[in-house]
Structure 1
Amino acid sequence: MARLSLSLSLRLCVIVVSVFTVPLKVIGNSEGGALYSLRRSLLDPDNVLQSWDPNLVNPCTWFHITCNQANRVTRVDLGNSNLSGHLVPELGKLEHLQYLELYKNNIQGTIPVELGNLKSLISLDLYNNNISGIIPPALGKLESLVFLRLNDNQLTGKIPRELTGISSLKVVDVSNNNLCGTIPTTGPFEHIPLNNFENNPRLEGPELQGLASYDTNCS
């Protein structure tokens, strides 16, 4: 009877441990998997990402990653790291990410639309890379965004009107790209210096309400 009771107690302990550890593994695998997808898409001649081991459940132990007390990723700090390659849509799975710092590298390709899922994001710093394509209108969903620095890339198209709805936005820099259309002046853009838009050959401003050329002469 004692052996039976002991066996039952051990089984209950295993069940309890499983209940409390499985969710943590799921969280770790989801965020770790997203970050490892980024590592695989980047060339890293200086081995900056060497600690990003896919066999570790918790990416909070990796260099250049910061987590909160709940072991959720809040910062990715890879600025000026001699990285090349491209960004990946899996970054949109980092639900608690506040800072995405990838400035001063040689990253190419486009900005993933999925970055619009990062509702906690405060700072998106992709400046001084070789990123092309448009600024995704989905970034307008980043309701906590304060800093948006995309300058010194190869971006094309318009400045999305959706960005004017981000009331928290304080800094926008899209200078030295290939943007076109007109510069918004509504919402947070009212206080953005014009030199943060300079050196875009086809970008005009400030924006005039009802200006037809905004839509017809910019692609």
Structure 2
Amino acid sequence: MDNWNRTDKNPCKWNHVTCNSLDSVVRLDMGNALLSGQLVPQLALLTNLQYLELYANNLSGHIPVYLENLTNLVSLELYTNNFDGPIPDALGKLFKLRFLRLNSNNLSGSIPMSLTSLYSLQVLDLSSNRLSGPVPHNGSFSLFTAVSYANNLDLCGPITEKPCPGSSPPAVSSPDGDSKPNIGAIVGGVVAVWCYYLLLW
């Protein structure tokens, strides 16, 4: 951050910082910026922030709960870092979020059900972590495919093709792999009955 001056009260002229017409910070573009350490609590003061791009750095620690204060966030890009611990349930309060990429970290625990309430969510990537438990399939999560959850060995549920412990076994299909009624047999039976009555006529 070659032109960042901590004594400057207005950061809007700094590289990688975008402000709106009211000089409120709305975007931080610091992907591939060789950042390390943990996210600082002061980040929660940027309540007008819409884009937080911190991907491909060496950031570590837990994803902080205080990110819930960034209620104007549209994009949260924390992928390819060293974050660990659970995905905060509080992220489910970011109702404007459209892009959530947390892939390629060391996140563990279950996927919070609160995230299924993010109905604006268009892109979700939680792949390549250490997440476990069932993958939600309701709400906004009904839009996403197995790619969003790949390389999490302990996730389970229909989308992963790995049954969760205690879940019901899949329905048994017919020998030809089709669980639908045998329409041919039904039609054939009807035709046979019809022909029988013609012979009696």
Interval containing the TM-score (normalised by the shorter chain): 0.7 to 0.9
Deviation for aligned residue 1:59: 1.1
CA shift digits 1:114-147 (9 cap, x unpaired)? 0011111000000011110110000000010000
Distance 1:70 1:89, change over 3 A: same
Runs (5+) with no aligned partner, structure 1: 1-48, 215-219
Q: Which residue of 2 aligns with 1:95?
A: 47
Residues 1:213 and 1:138: Cα distance change in structure 2 (over 3 Å): farther
Structure-to-structure mapping, 1:4-153, within 5 angstroms: 49-153=1-105
- 2:158 maps to 1:206: yes
CA distance in 2, matches of 1:89, 1:111: 11
Task: Pick one of 177, 190, 213 that aligns with 2:129.
Answer: 177
**Superposed displacement of residue 93, structure 1:** 1.2
> What's the secondary structure of 1:109's corresponding residue?
strand
SS in 1 for 2:47: coil
Deviation of 1:206 (Å): 3.3
Query: Are the aligned partners of 1:84 and 1:107 in contact in 2 as well (CA < 8 Å)?
Result: yes
In the TM superposition, residue 89 of structure 1 has moved relative to its aligned partner by 2.2
CA distance in 2, matches of 1:165, 1:70: 31
Aligned residues: 163
> Separation in 1 of the partners of 2:42 and 2:80?
22
Shifted more, 198-207 versus 52-61: the winner is 198-207
| Between structures 1 and 2, the one with greater helix share | 1
Pairwise CA distance, 1:213: 6.5
Question: Which one-letter code corresponds to 1:100 in the other structure?
Answer: L
Cross-structure match for 1:159: 111
- Alpha carbons 1:165, 1:187 under 8 Å: kept: yes
TM-score (norm 2): 0.77
> What's the CA shift for 1:51?
2.1
Q: Measure, in 2, the Cα distance between the counterparts of 1:137 and 1:150.
A: 14
Offset from partner CA, 1:18-69 (integer Å, 9 cap, x none): xxxxxxxxxxxxxxxxxxxxxxxxxxxxxxx232212111111111100000
Matches of 2:95 and 2:128 in 1, distance apart?
25
Give me the whole-angstrom Cα distance separating, in 2, the residues matched to 1:95 and 1:192. 29
**The residue matched to 2:37 in structure 1 has which SS?**
strand
Distance in structure 2 (CA, Å) of the matches to 1:89 and 1:181: 30
Cα distance in 1 between the residues matched to 2:85 and 2:105? 10
CA contact (8 A) 1:122 1:144 kept: yes
- CA RMSD, Structure 1 to Structure 2 (Å): 1.6
